């Protein structure tokens, strides 16, 4: 009886920690992007991000960033040049935003999310122009900048 209870608790803990997959898709033809987070699998995150990009007008979305780790993610985007920079799986929200902002010249942080891995989930935040400049340690980041001029 005790072994079953312990096994059930371990299964519940494992299930709560398994949905921490996120992805960012970008269409270089149209400049549209899509993102997803808190997905059960990486493939689900990829499919969802691509679909969100298509729903926004993207024709050929490509995944520029993905992760299976919990944490903060941010997207910085420059409307005039279509440059994009995404970060995922950061432990700190300001670090995720600052890295995205710093690496997207002339852009602004347009999205911040927290991939909770099954824990309490803060809502998406639309930040407008977040002028945070700081030299922070780079962690899990994905670059779209010069690849998608």
**For 9-24, what is the mean pLDDT?**
63
**pLDDT per residue as tens digits for the range 88-115:** 888 888 999 999 999 998 999 998 888 8
Q: Could you state, in order of their start, the residue ranges of all structural domains in the chain?
A: 19-143
pLDDT of residue 71: 87
Does residue 61 carry a pLDDT above 90? yes
Does residue 32 carry a pLDDT above 90? yes
pLDDT of residue 120: 37
**For 47-61, what is the mean pLDDT?**
96
Q: DSSP string of the chain? A: -HHHHHHHHHHHHHHHHH--EEEEEE-TTT--EEEEEEESSHHHHHHHHHHHHHHTT-SS-EEEEEESS-EEEEEEEETTTTEEEEEEEES-HHHHHHHHHHTSTT-EEEEEEEE-TTS--PPPB--SS----------SEEE-TTT--
pLDDT of residue 113: 86
Does residue 123 carry a pLDDT above 90? no
């Amino acid at each position: 009886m005790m072994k079953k209870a312990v096994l059930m608790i371990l299964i519940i803990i494992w299930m709560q920690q398994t949905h921490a997959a996120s992805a960012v898709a970008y269409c270089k033809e149209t400049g549209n992007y899509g993102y997803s987070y808190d997905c059960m699998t990486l493939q689900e995150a990829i499919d969802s991000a691509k679909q969100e990009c298509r729903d926004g007008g993207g024709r050929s979305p490509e995944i520029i960033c993905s992760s299976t780790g919990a944490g903060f993610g941010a997207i910085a985007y420059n409307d005039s040049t279509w440059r994009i920079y995404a970060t995922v799986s950061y432990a700190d929200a300001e670090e995720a935003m600052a890295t995205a902002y710093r690496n997207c010249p002339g852009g602004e942080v347009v999205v911040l999310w927290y991939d909770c891995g099954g824990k309490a989930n803060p809502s998406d935040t639309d930040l407008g122009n977040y002028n945070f400049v700081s030299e922070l340690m780079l962690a899990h980041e994905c670059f779209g900048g010069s690849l998608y001029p």
